[in-house]
Structure 1
Amino acid sequence: MKMNMTVAGALIVFALVTAAFISSSIASRKLQHIEPKGNSFAVLELFTSEGCSSCPPAEELLAGIQAQAAGKPIYVLAYHVDYWDRNGWKDPYSDAAFSKRQVDYSRQFAGQVYTPQLIINGQSECIGSDAGAVRNALSAALRTSAANTLQLSGEIKPGGADLEYALDNDPSNCYLLVAVVQRSATTNVKGGENEGRILPHVQLVRGLETMNLKGHKTGHIHVKLPAGFNTREWEITGLVQQNSNGAVTAAAHATLQ
């Protein structure tokens, strides 16, 4: 069948423009810094596991805080540790790197390593399901002025995210930690202490990158993106943390726009 050349040409141009638009929207997405309100923040790092029967109440408590955190300088990070994986259920979100982060923290907290453990701004810890202790620690953190301010921006590209950071003050003796966070997930647990339960999760850390800042107030870092990365349901969180005592001095979100 013959086709009118004018119509054919128009269709070809339309197809090329459409393909270019789709390709560009997938290949490169801008990350924009989200400016928090106020000059304080609270970073809540929960160490948890699907294999731990004491952990779901802690995750539920953190989910409530996360739901109320919109527009507030509250950063919730849930690390699924791997040392529970030997007890009848392998947590699909567990990672040895997350267990190591908890062990590193334990040097500040009399060697305590347990789940559900919540660490606040790298400076205090409590049982993650203790609502009173968690709320008190959160309030105390939000009453403390931030020592620094972090801005995080960049682009999502095939194979990872290229991020740029900027700090207001000198970050000597500090490192930058960037967490790739899945906002929500659900698991039907088929073994271990939570066998038969359907567990909802929020703010799951799925990837970590760290970089020694060496006193540089600006710079860039490349972050690998985990399998299943979804540009609508994931976010990137950055922390600036002191090497000496673990204190978090700045935090920021960067979400896809």
Structure 2
Amino acid sequence: MAKIKVAGLSLLCILLLTSFKTYPDKRQFLIMGFGIVELFTSEGNASCPPADQTLIRLSKEFAGKPVYLLSFHVDYWDNKGWKDQYSDRAYTERQRYYNKILHTDAYTPQAVFNGKKEMIGSETDNLRTLIKASLKVFTSNVISIAAAISGNQLTVNYQLHSVSDDDLVNVAIVQEHATDRVTGGENRGTTMSHVNVVRNFKTVNAKLNGGTQLTIPPDLYGIPFRIITYIQSKSTGEVIAGNTVVIGSHQVITVRKGQ
């Protein structure tokens, strides 16, 4: 991926606004449905390339729609002949969080849809069906985000329509595309492609208006990357709403999403 040269990049502001329908007589707030797929994968596991291809295929099929795909690279395959450069113990712990809530064992590739259903990550047809159905279901919350960069720090501020004590806000920095030649382990000699690789991730207790800060990985300096944010129930794991924006230049960008 070619690097974008940005002179004097000290501050980058992104404002993401979401439109919605209101029904004053019922005091309801509705927004079009969404789908979030969290894939737990590893370059060190021979079963994972088909799942990575599933995420690539879904990213093309649902381009421009409120479908948010995240590739979490776990670290428990790193001592089997190939260390995945994108792996992180925090992503392994996130998978364990789902294993506990969903009463399942950890394995790769494992996909979790909207925080409430898990399956083998290469089940393309199953994930496609779930996404299509989810897009037709209205949700009662929304998250709007604004982001600023100073040095290697990304500050993300968010605003929710409503909040409860059980709500969490997840913020991810994701690398949109990656291709690597694997020279060891089960995938030795394989060139692997990925989309939306999570490079930093943070979970905070939700507020109506809140924010958090994440460090940008050095190899993403000057390269466009995506922010994905989503609201999640702490007790059930269910994802309630999500949003995304791509940071790609030093200019102020306003993006309107929704119906």
Which of 207, 222, 225 aligns to 1:234? It is 225
User: Is the Cα–Cα contact under 8 Å of residues 36 and 71 in structure 1 kept in the other structure?
Assistant: no
Distance 1:165 1:88 in 2: 41
Distance 1:34 1:66 in 2: 22
Mapped pair 1:48 → 2:41 = yes
Aligned residues: 233
CA distance change for structure 1 residues 99 and 177 in 2, over 3 Å: closer, same or farther?
Answer: same
CA distance change for structure 1 residues 221 and 98 in 2, over 3 Å: closer, same or farther?
Answer: same
1:62 corresponds in structure 2 to 55
2:257 corresponds in structure 1 to none
Which of 240, 246, 257 aligns to 1:249? It is 240
CA distance change for structure 1 residues 226 and 46 in 2, over 3 Å: closer, same or farther?
Answer: same
Deviation at 1:36, TM superposition (A): 8.1
Code of the residue aligned with 2:171 in structure 1: it is V
2:15 corresponds in structure 1 to 32
- Output one character per residue of 1:3-36: Cα deviation in whole Å (capped at 9) or x when no partner: xxxxxxxxxxxxxxxxxx932xx11111231648
2:7 corresponds in structure 1 to 22
- Output one character per residue of 1:58-116: Cα deviation in whole Å (capped at 9) or x when no partner: 11111011123332000000000000112111111100000000001001222321111
Query: RMSD of aligned C-alpha atoms?
Result: 1.8
- Percent identity reads 34
Distance 2:246 2:17 in 1: 7
User: Is the Cα–Cα contact under 8 Å of residues 41 and 74 in structure 1 kept in the other structure?
Assistant: yes
Where relative contact order (Cα < 8 A, 6+ residues apart) is larger, the structure is: 2
SS in 2 for 1:228: helix
Which one is further off, 50-59 or 170-179? 170-179
1:93 corresponds in structure 2 to 86
2:186 corresponds in structure 1 to 193
Which one is further off, 178-187 or 33-42? 33-42
Deviation at 1:119, TM superposition (A): 0.4
1:10 corresponds in structure 2 to none
User: When the two structures are superposed, what TM-score results if normalisation uses the length of structure 2?
Assistant: 0.85
CA distance change for structure 1 residues 36 and 79 in 2, over 3 Å: closer, same or farther?
Answer: farther
Code of the residue aligned with 1:185 in structure 2: it is A
Task: Report 1:83-162 matches (<5 A).
Answer: 83-162=76-155
Distance 2:10 2:92 in 1: 33
User: When the two structures are superposed, what TM-score results if normalisation uses the length of structure 1?
Assistant: 0.85
Code of the residue aligned with 1:226 in structure 2: it is P
- Output one character per residue of 1:164-214: Cα deviation in whole Å (capped at 9) or x when no partner: 10011223311111000000111110111100011111100000111112x
Comparing both structures, which one devotes a greater share of its residues to strand? 2
Deviation at 1:254, TM superposition (A): 2.6
CA distance change for structure 1 residues 57 and 180 in 2, over 3 Å: closer, same or farther?
Answer: same
SS in 2 for 1:45: strand
SS in 1 for 2:130: helix
Comparing both structures, which one devotes a greater share of its residues to helix? 1
Code of the residue aligned with 2:238 in structure 1: it is A
Distance 1:231 1:56 in 2: 28
1:14 corresponds in structure 2 to none
Distance 2:42 2:136 in 1: 30
